[in-house]
Amino acid sequence: MDSRISTTRLRVRGYHLDGYGHVNNARYLEFLEEGRWAFFDDRPALVQRLMGGDLAFVAVNLNIDYRAAAVANDDLEILTRLSAVGGRSAKMRQEIRRLRDDALVCDATLTFVLLDVAANQAVSIDGELRELLEPLVMEAPLA
């Protein structure tokens, strides 16, 4: 797999389910967030720069398309990549796939900004930040 894609796996547990016996739609937000944390865990230089205290990674938009239901004991894989870097925001694409049949459970696009914590304003993505982010951009589909 391309090194610009991060993957993480999890098993659906009973507490993830709603009254209909499938994963509650809000739980997918947590699953996707787990995938984003894994993406950054895999990139310590980026984490050091972004988590140094002066900048914050802030989600400003998240669009999710639900494709198939996941149920108890399904093993899921969350694939995460950076898909675009703009002047003041960037986008991540994510997919959640069921391992037993490779079914696409959901896919999502997250837009984020980098916030100057002291000024409480989004900063331009340039210089060192752009140099760290641009090589990670992968525009092609995940799977």
Residues designated catalytic: 18
Classify the phi-psi angles of 61: left when phi > 0, otherwise alpha if psi is within -120 to 50, otherwise beta: beta
Report the distance separating Cα 92 and Cα 8, nearest Å.
15
Report the distance separating Cα 55 and Cα 50, nearest Å.
6
Q: Would you say 118 and 134 are in contact if contact means Cβ atoms under 8 Å apart?
A: no
